[in-house]
Amino acid sequence: MDANHTDWYVHNSSSYLHLDPESSVPDVPLFQQESSFILHTDLFHPGYYALESLNFPDYYMRLRDDGDLWIEHRANSAAYKDAASFSFYLLDSSRKYTCA
């Protein structure tokens, strides 16, 4: 769920990830399935996480080369594993500027 918008969720639609309110969809059970992911630890790299689609087993959220997020079937390549791995960082709201 989006921390700033109650009832808005990241969901899979045609392999791309979108952020929409649950109230805007015609099929809520399907939307809930598309919005559900399994969090894996140390799957591709030690100390990193990966998100597997509950709706499409063995499909993982990953960053595309153009910067978009989508889900894609698991591939056994270093590039795929790198793009499907992430870590968590604490947000320091006391800082005036943030860098990514």
pLDDT, residue 91, reads: 72
* Total domain count, the chain: 1
pLDDT, residue 100, reads: 47
25: alpha, beta or left, given left = phi > 0 and alpha = psi -120 to 50?
beta
pLDDT, residue 90, reads: 79
Domain containing 50 — which CATH number?
Answer: 2.80.10.50
Place of tokens 């969901």: 11
Profile the chain (100 residues) by mean pLDDT over runs of 10 residues.
Answer: 82 84 87 91 96 94 89 95 91 61
In a domain, 74, yes or no: yes
pLDDT, residue 97, reads: 56
Lateral strand order in the sheet of 69-73? 8-13, 16-21, 69-73, 59-63, 49-53, 37-41
In a domain, 97, yes or no: no
In a domain, 1, yes or no: no
pLDDT, residue 48, reads: 96
Q: Is the whole-model pTM more than 0.85?
A: no
